[in-house]
Amino acid sequence: MLLAVDLVILTLRGPSLHVLLIERGVEPHQGALALPGGFLRDLDEDILAAAQRELTEEAGLSEVPHLEPLGFYGEPGRDPRGRVVSAAYLAVAPRLPEPVAGTDAAEAWWRPVDDVLSARLHLAFDHRRMVAEGVERARVKLEHSALATAFCRETFTISELQQVYEAVWDVRLDPRNFYRKVQKAEGFIVPAGPMRRTENGRPARLFKAGPMQTLYPPMARSAQ
């Protein structure tokens, strides 16, 4: 039996959630879009280590602030070489200045998650299901964990953090109420120096991720 590792790597580009896809260079499904991933290099390679290796080789990302197991997928009949089982990992990358390029087998692009979920983009294997479950995991974890900070760079403004929630949940939030909630959740974010960054309007204070991983009170996703 063969064990593969596949990565659902989420990030923000502009106002919307994106996932990293590659064009497969080999059969099966050559030329189709797929998640970055591959077989374990050798029998003794650790699964988590393999995930990190794929992150570097195929996605060109050296270090992401969040990497967690997502599930496993049988994919019977995936490959003529035999039974293949995929271990899927969810990774969250901060906003990147440049599109990911110059990677392993083929090119890698950030693609809107909506295009994948609505089937406007067809993905190889059962990778669309992996994306769906990765996004759902992110949506749930945003409520009661500090996952949102993984989408941001080391320091960030509160409105940048708000964009994360708006993109992942696909809702519009009131900035003023968002301020209050985020600041009240103890240990979620802490001020990062008196510096400020400039953009267009009034400069904003900078924060960084706090020590607390579970949020209390949680960020409630309202009924709407």
Partner DNA sequence: TCGACTTCCTGTCAATCTGACAAGAAGCTA
Partner DNA sequence: TAGCTTCTTGTCAGATTGACAGGAAGTCGA
Interface residues toward a second copy, by CB under 8 A: 1-3, 43-44, 46-48, 69, 71-72, 74, 76, 82-83, 85, 87, 140, 143-144, 216-218, 220, 223
Tell me which residues in 75-94 interact with DNA (CB under 7 A).
none
Task: Enter the tokens of residue 141.
Answer: 């974890």
Which backbone phi and psi does 154 adopt, to 5 degrees? Answer: -60, -45
Q: In the set 63, 136, 186, 199, which binds DNA (CB under 7 A)?
A: 199
* Distance (Å, whole) CA 122 – CA 172: 28
Site membership for DNA, residue 153 (CB under 7 A)? no
* Distance (Å, whole) CA 87 – CA 158: 34
Q: In the set 171, 203, 213, 214, which binds DNA (CB under 7 A)?
A: 203
Site membership for DNA, residue 196 (CB under 7 A)? yes
Cβ closest to a second copy, residue 19 vs residue 87:
87
The answer to whether the peptide bond before residue 191 is cis (omega within 30 degrees of 0) is no
Q: Which of 166, 172, 92 is nearest to 134 (CA)?
A: 92
- CB 109 within 8 Å of CB 59: no
Site membership for DNA, residue 159 (CB under 7 A)? yes
Could you list the residues that contact DNA (CB under 7 A)? Answer: 157-159, 174-177, 179-181, 183-184, 196, 198-205, 217, 220, 222
